[in-house]
Amino acid sequence: MLKYLAIFILCSVSVNTALSDPSSAEEHYKDATTYHDLGEFERAITEYRQAIALNPNSPIIYNRLGVAYSELKQYDVALDAYQKALTLSPMTTELHYNVGLVHLKQGDLPRALEAFKRAITLDAEWEDTYTALGEVYLKQGNLRQAAHAYKQATRLNPNGNSSATLGLGKVYARQERWNDAITIVEKAIEIQVDNTEAHYQLAQIYIKRGEKKKAASAMAFFKVLRQTDPLLQEAEIWVKRHPNDARGYNNLGIVYLVRRRSEDAIASYKRAISLAPNLATAHYNLGHAYHKQRKLNPAIAAYQQALTTDTTLAIAHNNVAVCYTELGIDLDQALTHARTAVRLAPTEANYWDTLSQIYTALGLESEAQHARKKQKKYANEQ
């Protein structure tokens, strides 16, 4: 079996985000949003409060302060900030929506419902509010109203609201409308391929239908997503903090690819290469991403570029050989690369497997038989 793997560069650097010394509310707010975007909510709160001290009449700053407190799960303080913002701007839809989110997180469903309904009266075209409203109804067991709310959200954004689509799938699952549930949950996954909860819900539906094989497949990918959720967050924050770190983008690309976000992975690898053109691992991983998409010619080009920088990269030699073999062309070049791979990594069973297949394709059965023996030997030792 022809295999190919991504190369992960581990980075461990102490971070100290230094911001300018602000002297106005606007500068404090700017610094606060920078910290906020980096997930440093406590530092953001300090800056928001300094901005408020200089400008106590800004509902925008109070709103962002509430969001930061909510991220830290300090819900009572978050509500206090939102209420101050509402005093200054009572007709702002987002504030009522944010209040509803806090009540929802606290499990206070009646107050959450009231806040979301108020938000809808102010703006009946904001899809997020209907999605949240659907979640409240679903938790209350009001499936008819939940379905109505989720459908309203998807109507407003039929191709981009994974959460509302998934919510509707949950409603159908509760109603034991299994075929409808599967169709809708798969639609949510189509919108957001790495929606962790959607893959879990799909697995649960298959379990209830007794489709063990499909359930196992969905559950396996759910576990991958659950394990990489924190890695994704860390990698995305890392590149925000280090926008010129090629290795950070390389690592982000790896996480994206594991989560089946191929285009995002390719973009991240290309960004890494633009920052560090001689980073062989980024070129290799770009080839790996193209390879998984069955774009073999771009994959070969990327692997070859990796080898231009590092001729000892055995896995790149192997994968160039794999691509040529799959294309059924340039088998002499494939043979050269496969031989180089086993020379550089003589105990790697997979590389001997690649070599044996090329020998077979070239009609060199004696050499193929020798390579297969090597493959079996090292496979048994691993």
- For the chain, the maximum distance between any two Cα atoms, rounded to a whole number of angstroms, is 85
Which candidate, 180, 36, 163, places its Cα nearest to that of 101? Answer: 163
- Give the containing element (helix H, strand E) for 257: helix 246-258
Query: What is the pLDDT confidence band of residue 345, given thresholds at 50, 70 and 90?
Result: very high
- Give the containing element (helix H, strand E) for 377: helix 365-381
Check residue 158 and give its pLDDT: 79
Q: ∠ CA(127), CA(131), CA(134), 5° rounding?
A: 140
**What is the per-residue burial (b if ≥16 Cβ within 10 Å, else e) of 4-43?**
bebbeeeeeeeeeeeeeebeebebbbebbbbbbebebbeb
Block residue for tokens 């980073």 = 279
Block residue for tokens 């910290």 = 35
- Give the containing element (helix H, strand E) for 173: helix 162-174
Query: What is the pLDDT confidence band of residue 23, given thresholds at 50, 70 and 90?
Result: low
Residue type for position 115: A
What is the average pLDDT score of the chain? 93
Q: How far is CA 24 from CA 38, 84, 284, in A?
A: 22, 21, 48
Q: ∠ CA(192), CA(196), CA(200), 5° rounding?
A: 120
Query: What are the pLDDT digits (tens) for 233-254?
Result: 999 999 999 999 999 999 999 9
Q: Classify the C-alpha dihedral 363-367-373-374 as positive or negative.
A: negative
Query: What are the pLDDT digits (tens) for 302-320?
Result: 999 999 999 999 999 999 9
Query: What are the pLDDT digits (tens) for 144-198?
Result: 999 999 999 999 997 788 999 999 999 999 999 999 999 999 999 999 999 999 9
| Mean local confidence (pLDDT), 89-97 | 97
Check residue 381 and give its pLDDT: 83
CA 141 to chain centre: 31
Query: What are the pLDDT digits (tens) for 249-286?
Result: 999 999 999 999 999 999 999 999 999 999 999 999 99
* Helices and strands, counts by H and E, the chain: 20, 0
